[in-house]
Amino acid sequence: METIHLKTVDPVSQELLRFAAQRGIELPWERYEKLQPQDGFLRLGLSCPFGCMQGPCRIDPFGRGAGKGICGLGRDEMVAGTLLRLCLQGAMDAMGSAATLETVPEVQFSDTLGKMVSSVLAENGQADLNGSDILKGASMLGRSSSTCQELLVQSFRLSLLTLGFLEQENEQVSAGTKKCDVGYTIVDKYPVCIGFSGQPSVEFVQQLEVESRQGPGASVALVSLGEWISLKDRFMPIACTSGESELLMSSGAIHLLVAGPGTDPGLIDLCREMKIPVAVAADIAESSDVVQRARQMSSTVSQMSLFTDASQAGDVEVVMSNKDSARMFGEDSKVKIALIGGTDSPQMSLGQLPVELANGIQDQGFRVAGWGDTALWMIKNGLTSDEQKSEVLILEDRQGPLLAVKDLAEKDQLGRLQGICFTGLKNSGELAMALGLAYLGCPVSVAAPIPVQGSQLVKDTMAEMVQSNGGELNHYDHVPQAKEILEWFTTLSIKGAA
Amino acid sequence: MKAIAVHLDRCTGCKTCELYCATERGSNAKTLLQAVQETPLPQARVRVEGSSEVPIALQCRQCAQAPCVDSCLTGALRRDPESGTVVIHENDCIGCWTCTLFCPYGVIYPWPERKIALKCDRCLYMESPVCVDACPTNALELVDIEKYEEFTRRKRLETAAGLQENEHLAGKLLLDLVQTR
């Protein structure tokens, strides 16, 4: 427990960590420590990703052992292939539930994004994007016959496709904002809490909302455990960030878990261990039973108040679409904009980077917007309150920085974009988004190491390809401190002035 | 005195020990992602050898009568009096690699780029050897020499218990042994 401050900066979360440790509950931090060191070859991108059965082949990064795979594949192609595999997965994540699709969908870019993408593709002499790029990417990973350059080009094409699919997913959203309540205090207000993880179906959640208001007994709160679950006119209240979901569950404050698609297995295992009922968000007919079981569960556990010190975060407005241009960054072209977002990771103390970065960047006079877990940390730390000299803008989770980029592009003010920083990556979709934005010409920094360090050629080629479109892709070979990322933002400022 | 023991039944040949030995003991940066960018490339003091069926992580056995110490022309290889470990003093090493020829296990390696010989010193000045810490299957274990007999006895008992459970296999193993001879 002497390292507790390395796990999270939130004092209430630190208290919950002590509580879990006393009860011998294993949380992601313990699993992370046991997994150290994680596979070095995969971390470097030197474990062959191609779909052949001769391997697994791995290249010795220190030059003594294997320098090529059995088929003769070199280290550069292996690393580029690893990146392509991640981008392919990212595009498929953004495409929606692949399991329910019968054909690969076609991508429909909005006018703004479409123009940006077409211009980049034309400048690089590439054909238009379509859904078959996914199949091409998958086929390239079947046999290791493509060059490093070809693999990287396809990776970037898939990352652009990811942006298109993400935008398409959100096209139904009407202009404007949605409210969202954030913070541990939400669970303290209600005697019965049903936690949500993953992305349960809207119908199931709506049915549960109705059921939770009906019937005898204590009122029931529906709270999200770190997921941005969009309801009709607002977001489901978010009790904690995704990195804290198991921590909150371990406190016993959640009486039933509704596990939607994408729920981490660790959360379900923890519920089993703590004998908390789990409902799979699929069968709407069972919603009344779900509420009843949560009420029963709450009557059998003694509630400890662990959240007395939690700050009241309150409601925030989340920007859902760049159609509401006035709500975004205004017209003042002198105000530079910094976008910070991403997912919690046990690699760094939860909340540290988002809050330090946001404060540091605001001190330099930039307007800040955030998304994902990073945004939740900003809200929890009062950076979105009206009392702040410059209120942080919260962007819809899935599109995040894309909304801001489109808004600026529409106003022909992309020059106002100071930089985009991903404070942590949870899945390949987020990596593909970062690469896509960089390839579109945005300055992007990724605070989590990406598996390309095994090849200098791949790193150099990626940087050149991004720079040729006017963008920048900054990534680290270590877990960076806030100071380093702030320096990156400042360096960009100097470059821009020059 | 302590030694690094290898559980052959647990070694999967993943070479994680090599990666992290080279990183921790051979690089300036001490992190894998930075170490691979250094020149000259860091080298590991432990090497995984053998076939896919029988991989084995090999490092210096710290021989009680070490031929490498006797053969060293400049006295760069010396035994640490406290730990009993054979340590190479890199400043005294001239890179003649005589020690690599005399080592009966072949676990002293030439490092031409740095003009020195390379050998495991069991991470003498660290809390525990990095290869032992990094091994994902705990195939490497730091064992006290005084307790070595107990350690090997435990292994023999484990093997015997395993054979007892699989009598048919025990018979086959014996048959294989006879046929091989």
pLDDT tens readout for residues A226-235: 999 988 888 9
- pLDDT of res. A5: 82
What's chain B's average pLDDT? 88
Q: How distant is the Cα of B174 from the closest Cα of chain A, in angstroms?
A: 33
Between the CA of residue B45 and those of A66, A161, A412, B119, what are the distances in Å? 17, 46, 58, 5
b/e A85-114 (16+ beta carbons within 10 angstroms → b): bbbbbbbbbbbeeeeeeeebeebebbebbb
**Confidence check: pLDDT of A301 > 80:** no
DSSP-derived letter for residue B9 is: T
Residues A338 and A481 reside in one and the same domain: yes
Which of the listed residues A270, A300, A330 is the one where a domain comes to its end? A300
Contact yes or no for B33 and A44 at CB 8 A:
yes
Average pLDDT, stretch A175-182? Answer: 83
Average pLDDT, stretch A361-378? Answer: 92
Contact yes or no for B41 and A61 at CB 8 A:
yes
- pLDDT of res. B177: 56
Q: How distant is the Cα of A232 from the closest Cα of chain B, in angstroms?
A: 45
Map out the domains of chain B as residue ranges: 61-119
Minimum mean pLDDT range among A197-206, B59-68, B69-78: A197-206
Residues A326 and A470 reside in one and the same domain: yes
Residues A90 and A203 reside in one and the same domain: no
Query: Higher model confidence: residue A168 or residue B31?
Result: B31
**Nearest residue in chain B measured CA to CA from A475:** B33
Interface test with B, best of A38, A39, A59, A62 (most B CBs within 10 A): A62
Residues of chain A positioned with their CB less than 8 A from the CB of B23 = 40
Q: If pLDDT is split at 50, 70 and 90, which confidence band does A108 have? A: confident
Domain count, chain A: 3
- pLDDT of res. A103: 75
Contact yes or no for B33 and A449 at CB 8 A:
yes
Preceding amide of B67 cis, omega within 30: no
Residues A402 and A368 reside in one and the same domain: yes
Minimum mean pLDDT range among A315-324, A384-393, A444-453, A477-486: A384-393
Average pLDDT, stretch A230-247? Answer: 91
Q: If pLDDT is split at 50, 70 and 90, which confidence band does A156 have? A: very high
Residues A279 and A327 reside in one and the same domain: no
- pLDDT of res. A147: 95
- pLDDT of res. A187: 87
Predicted TM-score of the model (pTM): 0.87
Please name the member of A41, A63, A453 whose beta carbon is closest to the beta carbon of B41: A63
Q: Which of residues 429-488 of A touch B (CB under 8 A)?
A: 449, 453-454, 456, 477-478
- pLDDT of res. A498: 41
Structural domain includes residue A453: yes
Q: If pLDDT is split at 50, 70 and 90, which confidence band does A285 have? A: low
Q: What is the tens place of the pLDDT at every residue in A435-490?
A: 999 999 999 999 989 999 999 999 999 999 999 999 999 999 998 999 999 999 98
* CATH label of the domain that carries residue A373: 3.40.50.2030
Q: What is the tens place of the pLDDT at every residue in B19-46?
A: 999 999 999 999 999 999 999 999 999 9
Residues A226 and A253 reside in one and the same domain: yes
Contact yes or no for B18 and A62 at CB 8 A:
yes
Residues A146 and A51 reside in one and the same domain: yes
What is the rounded distance in angstroms from the CA atom of residue A177 to the CA atom of residue A186?
A: 21
Residues of chain A positioned with their CB less than 8 A from the CB of B14 = 39
Q: How distant is the Cα of B134 from the closest Cα of chain A, in angstroms?
A: 6
What is the rounded distance in angstroms from the CA atom of residue A416 to the CA atom of residue B80?
A: 63
DSSP-derived letter for residue A282 is: T
**Confidence check: pLDDT of A153 > 90:** yes
Residues of chain A positioned with their CB less than 8 A from the CB of B34 = 477-478
Count A/B contacts: CB-CB distance under 8 Å.
Answer: 56
Residues A67 and A103 reside in one and the same domain: yes
Tokens of A147: 């060059």
Average pLDDT, stretch A161-181? Answer: 81
Highest mean pLDDT, choosing among A52-56, A60-64, A74-78, A297-301:
A74-78
Residues A461 and A358 reside in one and the same domain: yes
Chain centroid to CA A428: 9
Structural domain of residue A351, as residue ranges? 320-497
Residues A162 and A48 reside in one and the same domain: yes
What is the rounded distance in angstroms from the CA atom of residue B155 to the CA atom of residue B159?
A: 6
Q: How distant is the Cα of A338 from the closest Cα of chain B, in angstroms?
A: 28
Structural domain includes residue A311: no
Q: How distant is the Cα of B135 from the closest Cα of chain A, in angstroms?
A: 8
Structural domain includes residue A176: no
Tokens of A459: 């790193």
CATH number of B61-119: 3.30.70.20
Residues A261 and A189 reside in one and the same domain: yes
Q: What is the tens place of the pLDDT at every residue in A46-69?
A: 999 998 888 889 999 998 888 999
**Confidence check: pLDDT of A313 > 70:** no
Q: Is any Cβ of chain B less than 8 angstroms from the Cβ of A43?
A: yes
Which of the listed residues A113, A146, A169 is the one where a domain comes to its end? A169
Strand bridging mode A393-395 / A367-371: parallel
Q: How distant is the Cα of A458 from the closest Cα of chain B, in angstroms?
A: 13
Strand bridging mode B140-144 / B2-6: antiparallel
**Nearest residue in chain B measured CA to CA from A448:** B33
